[in-house]
Chain A
Amino acid sequence: SQQGEEDPQALSIQEGENATMNCSYKTSINNLQWYRQNSGRGLVHLILIRSNEREKHSGRLRVTLDTSKKSSSLLITASRAADTASYFCATGPLSGNTGKLIFGQGTTLQVKP
């Protein structure tokens, strides 16, 4: 049973546009991470934001976290065709912490050249 829900489930944009994906979760967390998965491949870590942080940047990526609303967003600016992939948020739960990640269902992003 997955904790996170992401929207939209699918997003199609033109190269150069910005892409925004949202993630909601249910329980208390100590961190939230975003991963990318290209078709038929494993997941690649993009960025981690701790529960006491509100915003974090990494290159063209901007992540926000609102723990009061239990939600996060990932913004990819100036998108490129190579950004085409599925994006997953994953939370590290606060209690019983083994380091396991709980993933959302993902957003499939298509960037058209």
Chain B
Amino acid sequence: GAGVSQSPRYKVAKRGQDVALRCDPISGHVSLFWYQQALGQGPEFLTYFQNEAQLDKSGLPSDRFFAERPEGSVSTLKIQRTQQEDSAVYLCASSLVSSGGVAKNIQYFGAGTRLSVL
């Protein structure tokens, strides 16, 4: 497909369960971002990759959150021992240009994964 693809679209997890969320960015896009969006709020930055390098993970809320992009394309966001406060929509975005200098990149978002932790 031409856009950013995320899977699954919906995930229900029991508290304490580990989950893995997948993002397929637009082919050739260098930059990849993960955001967390709570209900009724704007997205909040989690982490950023330039190709396979994770250059910024300042937004990850705890060490239970881990992201990887081993071949510089598909990325996985893993949440270990999920808690109820992890319930949110997780958005992935990609952009063509790398960062550095003036960041004027436009980000293309996937539809998100809605995670519900019971």
Contacts and interface: CB of A to CB of B under 8 A. Distances in A.
B111 A41 contact: yes
A9 B98 CA distance: 33
A98 interface: yes
B31 interface: yes
- Main secondary structure on chain B at its contact with chain A? loop
Nearest to A104: B42
A101 B111 CA distance: 17
Contacts of A42: 4, 91, 93, 109-112
Contacts of B101: 97
B104 A4 contact: no
Among A33, A40, A100, chain B packs the most CB atoms within 10 A around the CB of A100
A45 interface: yes
Given A41-B111, A42-B4, A92-B104, A100 B33 contact: yes
Contacts of A103: 35, 42-44
Contacts of A33: 106
Contact of A2 (B44, B100, B106): B44
A92 B95 CA distance: 14
A106 B45 CA distance: 15
A44 B109 contact: yes
A87 to B, nearest CB: 10
Interface of A: 1-2, 4, 30-31, 33, 35, 40-45, 48, 50, 88, 90, 92, 97-106
Given A45-B108, A99-B98, A103-B43, 16 more contacts: A2-B41, A30-B104, A31-B104, A41-B112, A42-B91, A42-B93, A43-B107, A48-B106, A97-B102, A99-B97, A99-B105, A100-B33, A100-B56, A100-B59, A101-B107, A106-B42
